[in-house]
Amino acid sequence: EDQVTQSPEALRLQEGESSSLNCSYTVSGLRGLFWYRQDPGKGPEFLFTLYSAGEEKEKERLKATLTKKESFLHITAPKPEDSATYLCAVQVRDNYGQNFVFGPGTRLSVLP
Residues of this chain that interact with another protein (CB under 8 A) are 4, 32, 34, 36, 41-46, 49, 51, 87, 89, 91, 95-105
CB-nearer residue toward another protein: 24 or 76: 24
- Cα–Cα distance measured from residue 13 to residue 81, given in angstroms and rounded to the nearest whole number: 12
Question: Closest separation between CB of residue 77 and another protein, Å?
Answer: 26
Question: Closest separation between CB of residue 29 and another protein, Å?
Answer: 14
| 3-state SS class at 24 | strand
- Cα–Cα distance measured from residue 12 to residue 32, given in angstroms and rounded to the nearest whole number: 28
